[in-house]
Structure 1
Amino acid sequence: MVHENFRFQKLFRRLHAIIANGEIGEPTFARLSWRNDIDVYSNQPYLKSTRRFMIMDVGIHMLDLARYLMGDATAVSCLTQSVKKGIAGEDAASILLRHQSGATTIVDISYAAHRNPNPFPQTLGEIEGRSGTVQILDDEVLRIHGTSDTRDEAIAPDKRSWTHAPWTQIQDSVPRTQQHFVDMLRTGTEFETSVTASLQTYALAEAAYRSAAAGRLVDVSSLLKER
């Protein structure tokens, strides 16, 4: 199993359940946004000289999250930016996915988005379906626009003694990821993020880099055949 914990955040487990129970109908569009200006360079100075930077650092988690919520993707288009002066790789990327279902997802990520208050480490955005929408708002709130009403669901933290803001959302996801690992071992069930499944995520990251370099849409199936 690959430790891929974004999908095990409590908010995204709940969002997945809302989609699965059909409350907003078949998903047709998603936007997943992770943009902030957290100083990643003080503790990880090597990132300044890393040529494959933002997509491999955070984008890989966001692409796995897109697969979890919207299904596997068949094609990728990507534009990257190097906003901070003096870095070797990209610190921002805009990635467009076409899913097997026909739905599309925009994944946008940046370490150069200056905001106050800083939204780190939240993922924001929305999922649109044929009969409703769910917005992913600040402070772990889901706003569900259904066919008859609109309501907010605040996702409460697990309240472990060793977690603290702003890291709580991420910290809570780690034991949840580990619990999944243990549960699947006990039942003999395949992991959600098995090596085989995770190759789909890595293919999306590779496709994003190839798209950015070539300026074209990249077919994911061709990359999976290369393995």
Structure 2
Amino acid sequence: MAILGLLVICTAIPGIVAPGDPTTVSLPDALSSPDSHHLLGTDQFGRDILRRVVQGARVSLLIAIAATLLAGVIGTTIGLVAGFVGRFVDSSAMWLVDVMLSFPAFTLALTIVAALGSGTSKVVLAVGIALIPVYARVARAEVLSIRERPYVEAARASGSSNASILWRHVLPNAAGPVVVLATVSLGTVLLAASSLSFLGLGAAPPSPEWGAMLADGRRFIGRAWWIPLFPGMALLLTVLSVNIVGQWLRERTDNR
């Protein structure tokens, strides 16, 4: 959680951790090793790696959070409606979800980006669409259990409309597992978004995105190891921290 807190600071106010423009080019300082002036060294254009890693936290995390929100909102809505209404709506929605689940999530995201074109917004859309079926399945499973509870039957007997029951009674009680799923899957989303950027389909240069920085640094790994190492370590620590916190939340939820 301390690592995630530092990442939040880097995302909200990166100038406090590493002030300066991460895209500033200084050819005389190109491929400088870590020293007192450049704590993490510089890349092939003389850009400071520390600034780019810190500023890259904003780009990478915002992409991952936006894609998670997109998948969570749309997938949860589909699951809520399908599970509560049932019958033809449920069977049709789950048939569509099954079709989407037949494709590996990253392959589906890669196909969508290839069709729409590269760019940050395209990555958010592609990764978000690829993860919609997971949220739809989880939300539907919760709704199928909740809609038979006594308080839902009491609300229906008191004359509440289906929309009111769904909004006031079903959604709040189904939100817990969905929030835990979003926390657990955030690391996977971050990896998928960085992978697309690594392939040149994400943020356009010179944007400091971790996946793009890894792609740039692999050409110099033999003589400038610091270029791919530090964005890779940032990605590793972020995904590891998110997974640990997500598993902790899931265990607490399961115990309750």
Do both share a fold (TM > 0.5)? no
Instruction: Kindly indicate which of the two structures has a greater share of residues assigned to strand.
Output: 1
Q: Provide TM-score, normalisation by structure 2.
A: 0.24
Bigger relative contact order, structure 1 or 2 (CA pairs below 8 A, ≥6 apart): 1
- TM-score where L is the length of structure 1: 0.27
